[in-house]
Amino acid sequence: MITLEGVTKVYNLGSVQVTALDGVDLSIDEGEMVAVMGVSGSGKSTLMNIVGCLDVPTSGSYSLDGQDVGAMNDNRLAYVRNRKVGFVFQTYNLLPRLSALANVELPLLYGRGRRNRRQRAREALERVGLGDRMRHKPAELSGGQQQRVGIARALVKEPAILLADEPTGNLDSRSSEEIIDMLIRLNREEGITVVVVTHSPEIAARTDRVISMLDGRIVSDETTERTR
Amino acid sequence: MNPLDTGLSALTSLWANKLRSGLTVLGIVIGVAAVISLMSIGRGAQASITETIQSLGTNLLFVQPGSSSFGGIFFGQGSASTLTLDDAEAIADSLSDSSVAAVAPELNSSGQIVYGRENTFTQVLGVTPEYLDVRNMNLATGSFISDGHVTGRSEVAVLGSYTSESLFGLRDPVGQTIKINDRRFTVIGVLDSEGGGPFGLFDDQILAPITTVYYRLAAQRTTRGEIAVDSISVQVKDESLMDQAEGEIATLLRLRHRLTGEDDFTINNQQDTLETLEETTDTFVMFLGAIAGISLLVGGIGIMNIMLVSVTERTREIGIRKAMGATRRDILVQFMSEAIFLSIVGGGVGVLVGVTISRLIDDKTLLNQTFQTVFSGDIVVLALLVSAAIGLFFGIYPAMRAARQHPIDALRYE
């Protein structure tokens, strides 16, 4: 469902040109759980941005669910982000002024399918076990709870793919465990495709497939045995 | 986003910065209040000027003799004695069925007025009984010149309030005898003070029967022995009939004077004078409004300033919203609606403050100046529209900056 062919991304930083991705070929099937690893500057964030339709490749082609993303304008990209992609961020990226419920409702404000907003947001929060924290502001929640609000927000539009960029980077080990368990459960039980960027070998070990990156290239792509 | 969500979202984010939003709104409030109060002061001044003119009656036409010439040298308008009392009577008789309500001919003269040891020099106006109504004047005491006085060339006089005061002080002049150019006249009445009027002109005059003035006081005679008049005031039945009346009078006079070429009279329209004056005062009111508009402009710049700060502060929020699928348009509308909300609230409160100010200073004397304010709905609509337009104009640039943010850069913004 995700197919990248010869994807290159070059950033113009004034006089210097930085090649963040250098001819990446990658394909991820529906229902896979993939970990992307690599040191800082290896290009994994750029890969995530392109997969998440936040950015378009300089050259090469990327198709998501059979649609050519490279040829899309800003509005189409916004639409695809809204309908097909759920983002989970390292820093949660919740809006501090809004309650957990309102934060989860946010993607439902945009694009099509705005009916039963409140109800759908409530259900998404219940799915991540925060049914009793709906009226709380992010500052009134623990880090782990905030990240679960983030996951509920990513899920509320029933996306085809969940992209998690270092989802446990700011969490203690117990909360990290909870979040990873939740992502794995979503993948195994609900069949959601999950791509998670991580530094942590423990997390990578629990996924089906580990992709390692260096200098904008994929250096290894290993499918592991499913572990429980 | 639907309009309700947009409105709620704008409200929440403005409410989150209450003081800042309040101060921004204050800029617009001051601007709108200034526009409204200054314009209603201007309108008030305009109204009092118009009122003065209208006190003469707006449905008046003034017929005056044309200019006379001698050897190619033209004298001023009214210098010829081409209009007669018969012309005035003809206008009254033949046009009373169509457009003319009343006709008041006048003959100007002047003289030395003596009462006992007091004396003064003033204008003596020969008039007919219609003069009082046509000129919208009232008697303070006594009675006015009657038709009998006119036909009998009676030596009676009605005094202007100022003239009466300067000759008689506080005594009652009615029944007293005064001398005008050594002729004895009996005072039969005193006019009410007209107040304003140009230079208090209408208060310092003496009215006498037109025939008396012609035969006893005036020097000029027509060649045909008719009574010449200096001007004929024609009261038209309705303001809408002004043009018709003007045409009918002109036709009648041309016939009577057997004119084929140029007219030997001119007809002046009170309405024309009023319109010219209103144009002038309109400019004055707009000028006041424009000055106040500058403060509204400053308020608008305040909105733009605060919106730019807000866009920068909320770069991350913009990134999050974009990642969640907000289009450029969604972001644009969100920030625009905040700016417009600020300006409309400012406009609304400004209207209330402006109306209150103009009510408070109405008929009050400040710095030796009595203010009259006229307040009307169109000023409110104008002020609200202008403030909404200002929100739109000054909100669009910050909102476009917000909408143009690249989602990745915006998400990374610290």
Residue A177 has pLDDT above 70, yes or no: yes
Q: What is the DSSP letter of B117?
A: T
Question: B202-215 pLDDT, tens per residue?
Answer: 678 899 999 888 88
Arithmetic mean of pLDDT, B358-377 = 74
DSSP, collapsed to helix, strand or coil, labels residue B108 as strand
Q: Nearest CA to CA, how far is B354 from chain A (Å)?
A: 35
Contact assessment for residue A109 and residue A150, using Cβ atoms and an 8 Å cutoff: no
Question: B301-316 pLDDT, tens per residue?
Answer: 999 999 999 999 999 9
- How many residue contacts between A and B have a Cβ separation below 8 Å? 65
Which runs of E-coded beta strand occur in B71-164? 73-74, 100-115, 118-127, 139-142, 156-159
Arithmetic mean of pLDDT, B358-379 = 75
Residue B367 has pLDDT above 70, yes or no: no
Question: A40-63 pLDDT, tens per residue?
Answer: 889 898 999 999 999 889 999 999
Question: A183-219 pLDDT, tens per residue?
Answer: 999 999 888 999 999 988 888 888 989 999 999 999 9
When CB atoms are compared, the residue of B1, B16, B325 closest to A79 is: B325
Question: Which pLDDT value is given to residue B224?
Answer: 57
The CB-side HSE value for A221 (13 A sphere, CA atoms) comes to 8
The model's confidence at residue B345, banded by pLDDT at 50, 70 and 90, is: very high
Cβ pair A107:B324 closer than 8 A = yes
Q: Nearest CA to CA, how far is B317 from chain A (Å)?
A: 7
Cβ pair B320:A49 closer than 8 A = no
**Chain center to CA of B83:** 32
The model's confidence at residue B197, banded by pLDDT at 50, 70 and 90, is: very low
User: Phi and psi at residue A110, in whole multiples of 5°?
Assistant: -110, 160
Q: What is the DSSP letter of B192?
A: P
Question: Which pLDDT value is given to residue B101?
Answer: 87
Query: How far is residue A206's CA from residue A184's CA, in Å, rounded to a whole number?
Result: 8
Reading the block at residue B368, the tokens are: 């030796």
Residue B198 has pLDDT above 80, yes or no: no
Question: Which pLDDT value is given to residue A28?
Answer: 93
Question: Which pLDDT value is given to residue A181?
Answer: 92
Cβ pair A107:B320 closer than 8 A = no
Query: How far is residue B92's CA from residue B103's CA, in Å, rounded to a whole number?
Result: 6
Q: Where is pLDDT greater, at B57 or B47?
A: B47
Q: Which of B1, B15, B18, B324 to mutate to test the interface with A (most CBs of A within 10 A)?
A: B324
Residue B223 has pLDDT above 80, yes or no: no
When CB atoms are compared, the residue of A54, A95, A153 closest to B407 is: A54
Question: Which pLDDT value is given to residue A228?
Answer: 43
Question: Which pLDDT value is given to residue A115?
Answer: 74
Owner of token pair 């005594």: B171
When CB atoms are compared, the residue of B9, B16, B325 closest to A107 is: B325
CB-based contacts of A23, cutoff 8 Å, min separation 6: A6, A7, A8, A60, A217
Nearest CA in chain B to A92: B320
Q: Where is pLDDT greater, at B116 or B349?
A: B349
Question: Which pLDDT value is given to residue B199?
Answer: 45
Reading the block at residue A22, the tokens are: 């250098």
CB-based contacts of B108, cutoff 8 Å, min separation 6: B123, B124, B125, B126, B230, B231
Q: Where is pLDDT greater, at B93 or B201?
A: B93
Question: Which pLDDT value is given to residue A22?
Answer: 92
Cβ pair A54:B324 closer than 8 A = no
The model's confidence at residue B352, banded by pLDDT at 50, 70 and 90, is: very high
Cβ pair B324:A74 closer than 8 A = no
Residue A29 has pLDDT above 70, yes or no: yes
Nearest to A224, CA basis, from A216, A1, A214, A212: A212
Question: B118-141 pLDDT, tens per residue?
Answer: 888 888 999 999 888 888 788 888
Cβ pair B323:A114 closer than 8 A = no
Contact assessment for residue B63 and residue B316, using Cβ atoms and an 8 Å cutoff: no
**Binding-site residues on chain A for chain B (CB distance < 8 A):** 49, 52, 54-55, 74-75, 78-79, 81-83, 87, 89, 93-95, 97-98, 106-107, 109-111, 114, 153, 157
Cβ pair A81:B325 closer than 8 A = yes
Cβ pair A110:B327 closer than 8 A = yes
Task: Return the axis-axis angle of helices B270-313 and B377-404, rounded to nearest 10°.
Answer: 30
Question: B246-301 pLDDT, tens per residue?
Answer: 888 888 888 888 877 777 888 888 777 777 788 888 888 888 888 888 988 899 99
Chain B residue numbers with beta carbons less than 8 Å from the beta carbon of A87 are: 323-324
Nearest to B181, CA basis, from B278, B251, B113, B255: B113
Q: Nearest CA to CA, how far is A60 from chain B (Å)?
A: 20
